[in-house]
Amino acid sequence: MENRCPQVGVGAIIQKNGKVLLGKRRGSHGAGSWSFPGGHLEFGESVEDCLRREVLEEVGITVKNIRMGPFTNDVFADEHRHYVTLFAVADYDSGHVTVREPEKCESWQWFSWDHLPQPLFTPVENLLNQNFTPSGS
**pLDDT reading at 65 higher than 90:** yes
The pLDDT-based confidence of 135 (bands split at 50, 70, 90) is: confident
Q: Which residues pair with 67 in a beta bridge?
A: 89
Q: Convert the pLDDT of each residue in 15-58 to its tens digit.
A: 999 999 999 999 878 999 999 999 999 999 999 999 999 999 99
In this structure, the number of other CB atoms found within 10 A of the CB of residue 118 comes to 7
Domains, the chain, in order of start with CATH, read: 7-121 (3.90.79.10)
8 Å CB contact between 58 and 51 = no
**Quick one: how far is CA 67 from the chain centroid?**
14
